[in-house]
Each structure stands twice: as C-alpha cells, then as structure tokens.
Amino acid sequence: MAQNLVVGLGVTGLSIVRYLKAQGIPCVVVDSREHPPQLAQLKSEHPDIPVVLGAFDHALFETAETLILSPGISPHEPIILQQMKRGVPVIGDIELFARINQTPVIAITGTNAKSTVTTLVGLMAKACGYRVAVGGNLGVPALDLLVEIETDLFVLELSSFQLETTYSLHAKIATILNITPDHLDRHETLLAYCQAKQRIYQHCELAVCNRDDRLTEATLPCKLYFTSHVPQEGEFGLLKVNGKTHLAFGDQPLLAIDVLPVLGGHYYMNALAALCIGYGYGFSMERMLQVLREFKGLPHRCELIRVHRQIGWYNDSKGTNVGATEAAIRGLGDSCDCGKLILIAGGVGKGADFSVLLPMVKQYVRHVILMGEAAQEIAQVIQGEVSCTLVGSMQDAVETANQVALPYDHVLLSPACASLDMFRNFEHRGEVFSELVRAL
C-alpha cells in the first residue's frame, strides 16, 4: 500500500507528524537510530502512528508515495536516490509549510548569523505592530507555527538542509547573509552548498544581498544591498561622520555603532542586514533603530560571560565553522585595544579548510588552545605561527587559558567545529564553558 514516509524523528520530524495528523494524512515514521530523540514524545502524543526503527527497510521505502525528510537526512542517501529515480517526490517540512501557507514570509539563510538576524527582524516586526511568528531552523519548527491563529508575518530561518527539499516557497523577502564553506561533509562541494542556499531566492519578490559576498548575489530584478563599506545610494552600510562610525542608508547616518550593546564588525553586518530586510518590507526606521539600541545578542554568539582579573571571557560556541570563527576573531580582536585574544577551538571539523583562519590568528591571537577530533589538524596549520596547546577537556582548556591570558586580553571560545565529539550540541558546549568560567 502506498504511504507517506516521514524519515527522521527529531524535533522537525515530530512537527511533520503533528502536521500530517492534523490534516488527516496517514504516515509511517522511519529512523535509522534505535532510540531517536523524540520517540517518547511521539508515542505519548500519537501512539497510533507506526514507527520503524533501525536499518532502513528497502521494501518499506518501495511502498512510499512521498518521502518527507527531516533536515538531518540527506536526499543523496542511496535509498532516497533510488526512490527519486522511480519518481517518488522527496520533500521537507518547509515544502509542506509553503504549500499551505497564505501569510507573508521573510526567509533568511546564510552560513553564519542566521539566528541573530532572524531574531532581530522578528523583534523589529513586533515593534512595528505586526503579529509575527518566528521559527524554522531557529526555535519552533515552521509547521508548528501554523497553529498560530492570527499571524501577519512569518520570519523563518532556513538551513541549506531544509532548502534542498523546498520547491514552492514564495517569500516576500529572501536573503542569503553570507556564504563560507560549511557542511561539506554533506554537500561535498562549495558549489553544491551554494546551490542549496540559492534556492531561497526561487519565487521571492525581493532579494536582500550582501554586497561584500558575491556568492549571495541573486539573479533577480528586485534587490537591496547591505555592505560593510561606505554604502552607495539605496544601500545600507557603514559611514564615518565626525570621527564616529555609523550604520547608514546611502549618505544618511542612522545610528552610531558605539551605542550598540553588541560589539564587533560581524554584528554590525547583522544589524545592517536586519535594517535592509525591514526597510524592504516597510518597517518604521525609528522603531527598527530602537530595537538595535536594546538588543543584547543571543547566547553562545560572542557572548560576554564575565570579566575576571581584567580579562574578558567570551562564549562563541555557535562558531561551528571556519567562517564564523574568522568573523568572531576579527570582530573581537578589533575591540581588544590593549590586549590580544586567547582562542579555544576544535571539535568535529566537517571537512573544513582551517588554513583560512591563519591570517586572523596571526593578527589577533596570542595563544591557541585546541581540543576535540580536529585538534591535531588545526595544530598542523598554526604551529610555528602562534603558540599552541592541545588539551583533553573543556576544563583543561579554561584552566590553560586562565594561566596564559594577560590583563586586557580576551579569551574567546569559538571552535570553528561542530560539538558532537564531546558535547550534546553547541549549546551544551557553551554552557560547560560558561559554568567553568564563572567558577574561576
């Protein structure tokens, strides 16, 4: 009997089941893990939904009329490709969302800063009086947002994994904030990764592009731009007025960066991107700027944990790729006038090229502390350029940093790697670091 297979039982997979059940669409859940994380909740909420666990059953997949993949499941898995060859549709949660949704959508992707910009745009929309729902790859899955009774606007963070299986999304505004190599263990090439990201522009009405990153460019007639340089007419960028750098629109200064609660050039780009998106949608400039004056950043993103012995300790555990860590080093290094950085890095490398970090490390970093699977690989790149210590735990990393840091230095946890070799997720890694720092 033909049936809908939900492949993968994580948070998104469970949201897919909830949606299908509410629509009266029967489904079977499959997961290659014997104990997927949402199994108990699925059995509690929907005990009637069949679940097949363990190694994928080829015979079961042959009965599928549609495969609905969780983001963690690659559409390039051999068993998925076999079904695609016989014409079985392969979709994801965002495709289901797009097929039923009638409310305007702002769609946001990029290698880094997705969550910060999505949060900022959501806060700006709320400040402007919109009934806004924020989610997707951040917080609440998109399909769970559909239960909101009265919503004027959806602001969705979308990952490359979600975009791979999305075909029908018609966003009012779509943006790719930036692209640097990431998830190459899944996408294999930077081109394939870019192509997945570019899918966000399909059917969108207005594209918001990063003038500094040609990989974010959209082949659409309606575009707005933001840049870290002096903006051209109609662009958002940085403008120096009377010796002070301002967020600006064209030649009009909007807000001095020294009033922003969050430091760093990478954050200024996030603020400019959010302003550009909000401007494109018609948000009040005054209310958007007020949000920027008040926003203190998200946890695990260059988050100041404490100042101890005149040393600042920063948690950037969300720096799970080389591009994010490069931006964090530059942003924090530029604000560290009298000292240097002590960098804690390492974890699961995901096929990254760590040599990209070397110029920033040489310019801003006094000492590098490495841990996790990729420690030796990173050490081979930087040894001889900057002093380096390899450690076996986060506790050892914090203790070493406390020993080598000097007054006015900043200690920065920005791993440039995934966390799953030593921690449950990047949040857990950041929490362990923060607890150890507070205990010093």
**137 belongs to the catalytic site:** yes
Rounded Cα distance between 261 and 297, Å, is: 8
- Which of 308, 310, 388, 377 is CA-nearest to residue 346? 377
Q: 143 and 192 in contact (C-beta within 8 Å)?
A: no
H or E stretch at 28: strand 27-31
**Residues in contact with 439: Cβ distance below 8 Å, sequence separation at least 6, in sequence order:** none
**114 belongs to the catalytic site:** yes
**Residues in contact with 341: Cβ distance below 8 Å, sequence separation at least 6, in sequence order:** 329, 332, 333, 364, 365, 366, 409, 410, 411, 412
**183 belongs to the catalytic site:** yes
Catalytic one of 4, 101, 112, 137: 137
Strand partners, 206: 173
Strands (E), 316-420: 341-345, 365-370, 387-390, 410-413
Tell me the two tokens of residue 369: 């502390």
Catalytic one of 4, 183, 187, 210: 183
- Which of 76, 64, 79 is CA-nearest to residue 32? 79
Angle at which helix 394-404 crosses helix 426-438, to 10 degrees, equals 50
Catalytic one of 4, 101, 114, 410: 114
- Which of 112, 110, 132 is CA-nearest to residue 121? 132
Strand order across the 90-92 sheet: 51-53, 27-31, 3-7, 64-69, 90-92
Catalytic residues: 114, 137, 183
